Amino acid sequence: MRWRCLIIDDDPIVLMVIKKWTDMVEQLEVVAACNSAFQAMEIMKTERIDLLFLDIQMPDLSGTSFLRTLQHPPRVIFMTAYKEFAAEAFDLNAVDYLLKPMSSERFFKAVNKVIETGTPHEKELPVRAERECLYLKASRKIVKIFLDEIIYIESAKDYIKIYRHLAAPLMVKYSLTALAAKLPRNLFVRVHRSFIVSVNRITAFTNYDIEIGKIEIPIGRQYLAQWKRLSETTKVLA
């Protein structure tokens, strides 16, 4: 079985060189090469990745921060021009840490370390169900938000306010309509032009409003039919 690789670096020349070198190794298969952590996230949603060749200093999200977002990270070889991140990289169980400009000899030495560990899934642990999450930019940070922590979401002009369990509300410059399209319909329902609620957090409801604990959220007329269809599936004991 070959190691399925993803190359992530914001320098197109580095991407080209690493792709050329990996193509020379029979045990490696390059699935994709991309220039940002966010592109990598999208690729890893649909592709099995066994090995990352990962730059550290990238715009928006660093390589080390990206690796921390992964619940079951693959093996990783870091590539960077900076020595000061080495300790952090090895704390993240990096196989190797390559300093740019790197030689082909040094690159292949790092690859051999990976190959010598065996086949990609030889010692694989049982896969645990991953908590669904989304990433939103707030206050110049990329924030990971677990869907099961969301109580409800409120529109506030050009922003949305996300209320979470055991966490402070989060203000994000985003459209409520755009976010509604990204949320699972079986877990969230839009009940008003200004509100989306978590179905699992609802404690009581009528045809006119929804209660989440002591919070009352109105049901807008244009969303009433949609809400009735959902509420009719609820088993109510008389």
Distance CA 75, CA 50 (A): 6
Q: Tell the burial category of 101 from Cβ atoms under 10 Å away from its Cβ (0-12, 13-18, 19+).
A: exposed
- Range 133-231: architecture per CATH: Beta Barrel (2.40)
Give domain limits for the chain.
3-115, 133-231
What residues does 197 pair with on adjacent strands? 152, 189
| Residues 3-115, CATH architecture | 3-Layer(aba) Sandwich (3.40)
**pTM, entire model:** 0.53
Assign residue 186 a region (left: φ > 0; alpha: ψ between -120 and 50; beta: otherwise): alpha
Mind listing the pLDDT tens digit of every residue in the chain (238 residues)?
789 999 999 999 999 999 999 999 999 999 999 999 999 999 998 999 999 999 999 888 899 999 988 888 999 999 999 888 888 888 888 999 999 999 999 999 999 989 887 777 654 444 445 678 888 888 878 888 889 999 999 999 889 999 998 888 999 999 999 999 989 888 899 999 999 999 989 999 988 999 999 999 999 999 988 787 777 766 555 4
Using an 8 Å Cβ cutoff, are 53 and 77 in contact? yes
